[in-house]
Every structure is written in structure tokens, then in C-alpha cells.
Amino acid sequence: MSEHKAKFLDCTGAPAPKLNLWPAVVISKEEIAAEVERLTSLSPPATGRRTSLIVHPYAEEPGLGLAPSIRVALNVLKPGEQTKPIRHNSTQIDFCIRGSGTAVVRGKRIDFAQYDVWNTPSMAPYWYVNDSADLQVRLTYSNAALLEKMNVHVVDEDPPLMEAAEAPAAAESGEPAAKKVSPFGTFPLTQDGAFLMPYERLINPPAVESNPLHWPWQLVKEQLDKLVALGKDYVGRRLYLLYNPATGRTNGTTPNFFATLTIRPPHIVDRPHRHTSAAINYYFAGRGRSTVEGKIYEWQAGDLMLSAPGWGVHNHASYDEPVYELTVQDQPLNIAMESLLWQEQMKLPVVVLGAQAGFATNRAELGRS
């Protein structure tokens, strides 16, 4: 058997490599409709999952995504069909773009309709049912592409539907829960804040419960439409984050991504800005344009777009009707890595969001809640 050996790569005095930004790309509603039709024509597979990945032309295996860390899949389920259970250590955001149905995630039933959003936590068994008379079409956003790059995407095609982790270990042993807490504590080493943590705590970190959550579009829309009253003088973006409290300070829908739902009233033009997180937009009402690294891209309802490659300067504008859109960004991942550089306006300094104070809007000055 041949021996694998590492090598030394001399970088003495070498400049840092330049960024090679992925260009923005628009996947038109016509292209999506054609792929939905093709998937619909297929015989049902053994898994029940008719799926196509939407892959950026710059993406390379392993880890094919629409952005380097964001995989987007198009899923089709015909009336009366059901997928088989599956689980994996990637997390997901699902967005229904046509039809309706039911998702069962770790035993929780989620009845969803068009434009609803829900999340699937890591290693939660899940499956889908189309109990409607129409096609069910979903976009699924996951961090599978990143995990495949890391060679750690673990997929279980035949998962147990009752998780052993749901049964408390203390109840099995009869020991009080307090005795399960390690007596070996974490303690300060230096006066400036460096600590030491024992192995017993390293392998038993505090658990944060991660639940499947559901954001029904009709409930979100009621709140979103109120933001129109902010008027043309408002300098922020009219959106709501679909917030999962389990993500804490990283402001996520999943630990890797946030999903926001946005309304753009007619003739609203954003200021150019940039951030190291990548953004993917699905427009489901209205028309407009995006300018990304100086190039203009037109879009309309039904289009999917990689609208902001990481650190690419960009802004968006609506035309003569309101725009609704879902945006997925890998911002929480970047906050956790302390890599989220953000420049809200090109004349303002770059900030490490999550590690430094961020930006403010003029909402308080407008006197509108």
C-alpha cells in the first residue's frame, strides 16, 4: 500500500490570492417551469424524490451549489405521492413555490401552502406528502454543498422515525440529572480572559434545542405589508427575518442561513452595498433589476437569482409594481466564523458584523413603528 505524504508549499513573500467572485446568474421562470415539467414526466423513483440541483456554472465537485456554500434543489411531487423518510447532518430551508402539502419533520406535521417557509434541523427524519390536486413544487436550500466540500455530509436513507435522543438518559439510569453534570469546570488561565476547558465539557457542550418551525406566508404578509408605510425616505430594506431562536446571536433561520421575506414598493432603489455572505433571491411578485459588480440583470416574478456573490457590490430596484421575494444568505455561518464583513454604504467603513457594532437605519427618525 502506497504511503500518502503531505507536502510543504512555500508561500514566503507571496501575495494573498485575489478573490474570484462568482458572477450573478438568473434562472428564469421559463427554465424552472421546463425543469418542473421534465421532472413531472419521470416515473416515480423508489425514494419518491424527484429532484434537480440548480448549479452555478463555476461550481465544481464535490459540493455543487448555486453559491459556494448554498445548495438549491428543485423538488416536484405529484398529487397523491409521498417521499420516503431521510435524514442528514445538513440543515434545510424549504419554500413552496407551487401547490401545497404536508411535511413531517421529526414527527411534527407541517401543513404548508404556496410561499410558506419551514426549516429542517440536522439529523431530523423527514418526508413530504402531496395531499392536494395540484403539483407540489419546492425550493430547498441547504448547506450540503459545504459539507460535501468538507467531506462530512452524512446521509441516512433509512432513518429511525423515533430518535433515541428524545428519551432523557437520566430517566433510563434512574440517576438524578444533576449527577450527569461534570464536576470538572472551565476556569480562567490569564487575567485578560483566556480560559481552560476540560475534556469532559468539550465532549458535552450545552445543548440548544433545534426545532422544525413554520412561517406561513399569509401571516408573514400581514406584517410585511405594513412596512410600505415607511415611505420613500426610509433608507433600510423592508423585510422580516424568519428568525429561529435556536440560532441566537447569529440571526438565522438555520445555523447556516437566514431566510428573509421582503416587500419592495414600486420604484424603490437600494443603495449599493456588499457583504461576504452570498445571497440568493426568489422573486414571486413584481419586476425589477439588480446591478451586481456593474452589470445589470433584469428579473421578474418566478425567477431565481444568485443576486449577491460574496463581497460583490450590488443593489436592487423595483419597477412599477410591488415586489415580493425570498432571500437566503449564509450570514449566520459567516457571523459564527467571524468572517462577515459588511459595508452598508460604499462610503462607510467595513464592519465585522457580530464582532463590532453594526449599522442603523432612519426608522426612528421617521417616527414609524
According to the model, what pLDDT value does residue 369 have?
A: 59
Q: How many CB atoms lie within 10 A of CB 348?
A: 12
According to the model, what pLDDT value does residue 232 have?
A: 85
Residue keyed to cell 418542473: 36
pTM of the model: 0.92
According to the model, what pLDDT value does residue 166 have?
A: 41
According to the model, what pLDDT value does residue 354 have?
A: 94
Phi/psi of residue 367, nearest 5 degrees: 70, 30
According to the model, what pLDDT value does residue 368 have?
A: 62
According to the model, what pLDDT value does residue 37 have?
A: 98
10-residue block means of pLDDT along the chain (369 residues)?
88 95 98 98 96 98 97 98 98 98 97 98 98 97 98 96 46 47 84 94 92 98 95 90 97 98 95 97 98 98 97 97 98 98 93 93 79
* C-alpha–C-alpha distance, residues 116 and 96, integer Å: 6
* C-alpha–C-alpha distance, residues 345 and 333, integer Å: 22
| Region of residue 351 (phi > 0: left; psi between -120 and 50: alpha; otherwise: beta) | beta
Domains parsed from the chain with CATH numbers: 25-156 (2.60.120.10), 214-350 (2.60.120.10)
Q: Look up residue 30 and give its three cell numbers.
A: 421559463
User: 3-state secondary structure string, the chain?
Assistant: CCCCCCCCCCCCCCCCCCCCCCCCEEECHHHHHHHHHHHHHCCCCCCCCEEEEECCCCCCCCCCCCECCEEEEEEEECCCCECCCEEECCCEEEEEEECCEEEEECCEEEEECCCCEEEECCCCCEEEECCCCCCEEEEEEECHHHHHHCCCCCEECCCCCCCHHHCCHHHHHCCCHHHHCCCCCCEECCCCCCEECCHHHHCCCCCCCCCCCEECHHHHHHHHHHHHHHCCCCCCCCEEECCCHHHHHHCCCCCCCEEEEEEECCCCECCCEEECCCEEEEEEECEEEEEECCEEEEEECCCEEEEECCCCCEEEEECCCCEEEEEEECHHHHHHCCCCEEECCCCCCCEEECCECCCCCCHHHHCCC
Q: Do 70 and 309 form a contact (C-beta atoms < 8 A)?
A: no
Q: How many CB atoms lie within 10 A of CB 127?
A: 19
According to the model, what pLDDT value does residue 176 have?
A: 46
According to the model, what pLDDT value does residue 177 have?
A: 47
* C-alpha–C-alpha distance, residues 15 and 31, integer Å: 41
According to the model, what pLDDT value does residue 233 have?
A: 86
According to the model, what pLDDT value does residue 326 have?
A: 98
